[in-house]
């Protein structure tokens, strides 16, 4: 069989300069010309309520049909970004393959971030399941549905370590921990692409957004990042690297700069690290309009300069800014841009198209397959499992589980809202397919009464009240940063009314980010973190409320006391004056330094006890064993977490760092010995000169059910002979 690189070269040799540049152009619905106003203004209208989601969707649908057919014919669009259907995708591919000179298939890309039509929990929510198999399974659901609708690549997984609750995009991440983001990303890549990306039900993963987008200053979206190289390598790069090592076919540079260089033009990142160190062979795709935004950054003079700087730094595809399509020819003609640089970018695009099997069969779907796959029973049941496992029980003073035969009162718009269950980025979903809490109570024939106000609920004969509070869908995700992450006054007021009336209140918290819920913790007897759980949200929540499912999720993000603590996270560095009794220690004079709920926290309807921690050090591993006992009265699943601390090091180290975890099932009364084999190399860090080192000497290993309650064992590491 002909070698892949030879095939690419053969095709490249046949291409005109215009056709090559066309392969680097990604056109989205925003450029389809169907709008009287520009795309950003449309989004503004959607967010400030001048347009409904239905109106927006209808316009987008129209735009998708209006992709520039002539540009496809003349080879000026290498890839397309936007929502799809099998019919539209096949027509788009037919034009590219049958009516363009060389018949190069298009590559259809879309943000399938947590499901296509069957929506699974937002990434932040799903990360709380700490379940790699589940993460892979839900990515398979997304890939099966998206590929059936003609999509070839998803802009996912997003593995930006996110330690700041103010940043709206924390909802898209797997939370604050580097290990969790890595494990989550790898599972997603595997689920989307499988071992055979050519398979018709596999899609390419575009990992995003390299790098350190989650560390934007003051949690403000699109803001800048300044950090030490050590921190970048230890805390932020590993998840992207893990995804590349797992075979991800594409990666997207982030909007932000790092230490003054915008990532869209960051050669160190996109060439030295990505290509040379990590041996990445796939395609780099700029973020939307990011090439042109190099001008706003003050890094490029004009669009031509921006195009030059981006392609030179290693950006292969320009998503929607048009800087490449409008300037690369001139840059080549005048000799500023080397032909070889252009050819390398085109080669990367073509290689991914070959690896996706698009040259073997550009269509890869059919209307019949689409109908069969979308929202299938199997897909919905996986979405339900994911939703159940992502719920985190934060507090329960003998209120839950509720009794099915006793009428429950319900208040809060979020209990009825299907749309808000979807969370950010569910751009292809149909809200009517979503189950709200009220829908689920109805379906399960559980007696309930919905009240418009807390006063009505307080006066009612319902002893038990569910109050749905938190954020709507639009309050998290891209461009949704906040300085106030507290509950609304209205929500607190209604909870006070219920409390004063002596009701047994269970708080159902819906949110895309951790919120400051100290008041709830102090005043409400039960709190269920319901996140935005997707299509089967309501079903899963009611399953947990009534004890059909024992809640098992654990937080992958710290819950701050207030926005003023942000960023607050468990793996912070040791200071010279750790918080203590003295005023002159690292703390606040108007708030505690402790968060409301720590990383790893989550309770259930049973009790787990930890005992008998032991450690053994071998040549290259630390083996940690612990006994976990289900000391309660019902079966459940516990997430066992293993941390470590290096107490004396050549650069200061985190007070604790997650190094392994496992979800285990335990029947009532059952106990299990859980063993972690931790590679010694995982205990290291970068020294001042950027050498990765593992210290000889004491390491403290810790195991527990959350980051604060742990058993400890001290060990000695000897690495050198």
List contacts with ligand BGC (CB under 6 A): 81, 111, 155, 208, 287-288, 478
Shortest reach from residue 363's CB to ligand BGC, in Å: 24
Query: What is the DSSP track for 487-536?
Result: PPHHHHHHHHHHHHTT-EEEEEEE-SS--B-HHHHHH-SEEEE-----TT
Cβ neighbours of 671 (radius 10 Å): 15
Q: Which of 160, 177, 287, 491 is catalytic?
A: 287
DSSP structure string for 282-334: SEEBPPTTTTGGGTTTTS-SSHHHHHHHHHHHT--BEESS-HHHHHHHHHHHT
Instruction: Look at the alpha carbons of 330, 331, 336, 342 in this order and tell me if their dihedral is positive or negative.
Output: negative
Cα-atom radius of gyration of the chain, to the nearest Å?
26
Distances (CA, A) of 171 to 141, 183, 476, 533, 579: 20, 17, 7, 11, 30
Pair 431, 472: CB distance under 8 Å: no
Compute, in degrees rounded to 10, the torsion defined by CA atoms 436, 441, 442, 443.
Answer: 90
Q: In the bound complex, what is the minimum distance in angstroms from residue 425's beta carbon to ligand BGC?
A: 8
Q: Rounded CA gap, 633 and 629, in Å? A: 12
- Rounded CA-CA distance 116/667 in Å is 35
Nearer to ligand BGC, 116 or 354 (CB): 116
* CB closer to ligand BGC out of 478 and 548: 478
Residue closer to ligand BGC, measured from CB, 109 or 487: 109
The span from the CA of 555 to the CA of 454, in Å, is 29
Backbone angles phi, psi at 440, to 5 degrees: -70, -40
CB of residue 167 to ligand BGC, shortest distance in Å: 12
Distance CA 18, CA 29 (A): 22
How many other C-beta atoms are found inside a 10 Å radius of the C-beta of residue 353?
Answer: 26
Cβ atoms of 345 and 316 within 8 Å: the answer is: yes
Q: Which is nearer to ligand BGC, 155 or 167 (CB)?
A: 155
Nearer to ligand BGC, 222 or 233 (CB): 222
Give the residue carrying structure tokens 């095939």. 7
Q: Which is nearer to ligand BGC, 201 or 478 (CB)?
A: 478
- Taking the complex as a whole, the smallest distance from the CB of residue 113 to ligand BGC amounts, in Å, to 8
CA trace torsion 514, 389, 381, 398 (10° rounding) = -100
Residue number of the CB atom closest to ligand BGC: 155
208 vs 418 by CB, closer to ligand BGC: 208
**Residues 164, 322: Cα–Cα separation, whole Å:** 33
Distance CA 13, CA 8 (A): 9
| The 464-470 sheet, strands edge to edge | 392-396, 526-529, 504-510, 464-470, 408-411, 448-451
CB of 207 to ligand BGC, least distance (A): 11
> What is the secondary structure of 57-89 as a DSSP string?
HHHHHHHHHTS-HHHHHTT--SEEES---HHHH
- Closest distance of CB 604 from ligand BGC, Å: 34
Q: Is 432 part of the annotated catalytic residue set?
A: no
Q: What residues have CB less than 8 Å from 437, skipping those under 6 apart? A: 410, 414, 415, 416, 466, 468, 508, 537, 538, 541, 542
- Measured at the alpha carbon of residue 474, what is the angle toward residues 471 and 479, in degrees to the nearest 5? 115
CB of 111 to ligand BGC, least distance (A): 5
Q: Smallest distance, Å, CB 667 to ligand BGC? A: 43
Q: 80 vs 354, which CB is nearer to ligand BGC? A: 80
Q: Can you say how many angstroms the Cα of residue 259 is from the centroid of all Cα atoms in its chain?
A: 24
At its nearest, how many Å lie between ligand BGC and the CB of residue 29? Answer: 10
Contacts of residue 488, defined as CB under 8 A and 6 or more positions apart, other chains included, come to 469
CB of 209 to ligand BGC, least distance (A): 6
| CB nearer ligand BGC, residue 100 or residue 284 | 284
Would you say 155 or 531 has its CB closer to ligand BGC? 155
Residues catalogued as catalytic: 287
């Amino acid at each position: 069989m002909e070698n892949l690189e030879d095939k690419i070269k053969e095709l490249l040799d046949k291409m005109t300069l215009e056709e090559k540049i066309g392969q680097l152009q990604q056109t989205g619905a925003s450029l389809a010309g169907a709008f009287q106003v520009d795309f950003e203004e449309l989004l503004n209208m959607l967010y400030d309520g001048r347009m409904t989601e239905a109106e927006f969707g209808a316009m987008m649908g129209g735009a998708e049909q209006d992709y520039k057919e002539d540009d496809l014919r003349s080879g000026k669009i290498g890839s397309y970004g936007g929502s799809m259907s099998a019919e539209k995708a096949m027509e788009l591919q037919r034009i590219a393959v049958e009516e363009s000179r060389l018949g190069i298939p298009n590559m259809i890309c879309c943000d399938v971030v947590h499901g296509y039509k069957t929506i699974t929990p937002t990434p932040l929510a799903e990360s709380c399941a700490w379940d790699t198999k589940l993460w892979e399974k839900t990515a398979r659901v997304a890939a099966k549905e998206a590929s059936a609708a003609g999509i070839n690549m998803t802009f996912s997984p997003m593995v930006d370590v996110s330690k700041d609750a103010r940043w709206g995009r924390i909802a898209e991440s797997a939370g604050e921990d580097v290990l969790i983001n890595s494990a989550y990303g790898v599972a997603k890549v595997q689920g989307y692409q499988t071992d055979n990306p050519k398979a018709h039900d596999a899609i390419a993963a575009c990992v995003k957004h390299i790098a350190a987008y989650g560390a934007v200053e003051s949690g403000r979206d699109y803001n800048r990042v300044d950090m030490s190289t050590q921190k970048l390598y230890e805390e932020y790069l590993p998840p992207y690297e893990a995804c590349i090592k797992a075979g991800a076919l594409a990666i997207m540079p982030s909007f932000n700069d790092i230490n003054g260089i915008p990532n869209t033009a960051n050669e160190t990142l996109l060439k030295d690290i990505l290509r040379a160190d990590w041996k990445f062979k796939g395609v780099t795709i700029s973020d939307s309009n990011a090439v042109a935004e190099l001008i706003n950054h003050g890094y490029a003079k004009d669009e031509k300069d921006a195009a030059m700087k981006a392609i030179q730094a290693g950006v292969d595809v320009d998503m929607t800014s048009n800087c490449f399509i409008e300037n690369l020819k001139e840059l080549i003609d005048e000799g500023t841009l080397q032909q070889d640089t252009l050819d390398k970018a085109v080669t990367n695009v073509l290689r991914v198209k070959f690896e996706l099997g698009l040259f073997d069969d550009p269509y890869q779907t059919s209307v019949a397959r689409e109908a069969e796959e979308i929202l299938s029973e199997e897909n919905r049941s996986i979405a339900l499992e994911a939703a159940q496992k992502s719920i985190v029980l934060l507090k329960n003073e003998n209120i839950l589980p509720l009794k099915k035969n006793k009428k429950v009162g319900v208040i809060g718009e979020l209990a009825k809202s299907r749309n808000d269950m979807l969370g950010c980025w569910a751009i292809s979903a149909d809200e009517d397919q979503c189950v709200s809490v009220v829908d689920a109570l109805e379906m399960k024939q559980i007696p309930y009464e919905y009240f418009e106000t807390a006063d009505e609920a307080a006066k009612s004969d319902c002893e038990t009240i569910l109050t749905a509070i938190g954020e709507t869908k639009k309050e998290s995700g891209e461009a949704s940063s906040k300085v106030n992450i507290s509950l609304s006054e209205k929500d607190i007021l209604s909870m006070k009314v219920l409390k004063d009336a002596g009701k047994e209140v269970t708080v159902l918290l819906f949110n895309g980010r951790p919120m400051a819920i100290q008041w709830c913790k102090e005043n409400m007897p039960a709190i269920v973190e319901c996140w935005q759980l997707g299509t089967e949200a309501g079903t899963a929540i009611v399953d947990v409320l009534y004890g059909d499912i024992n809640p098992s999720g654990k937080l992958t993000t710290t819950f701050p006391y207030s926005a003023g603590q942000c960023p607050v996270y468990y793996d912070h560095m040791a200071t010279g004056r750790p918080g203590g009794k003295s005023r002159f220690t690292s703390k606040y004079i108007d708030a505690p330094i402790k968060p409301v709920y720590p990383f790893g926290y989550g309770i259930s309807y049973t009790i787990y006890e930890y005992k008998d921690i032991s450690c053994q050090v071998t040549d290259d591993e630390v083996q940690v064993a612990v006994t976990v006992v289900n000391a309660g009265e019902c079966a459940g699943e516990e997430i066992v977490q293993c941390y470590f601390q290096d107490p004396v090091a050549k650069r200061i180290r985190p007070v604790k760092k997650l190094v392994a975890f496992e979800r285990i099932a335990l029947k009532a009364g059952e106990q299990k010995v859980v063993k972690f084999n931790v590679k010694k190399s995982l205990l290291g860090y970068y020294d001042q000169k950027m050498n990765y080192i593992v210290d000889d000497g004491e390491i403290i290993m810790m195991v527990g059910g959350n980051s604060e309650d742990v058993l400890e064992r001290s060990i000695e590491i000897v690495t050198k002979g």
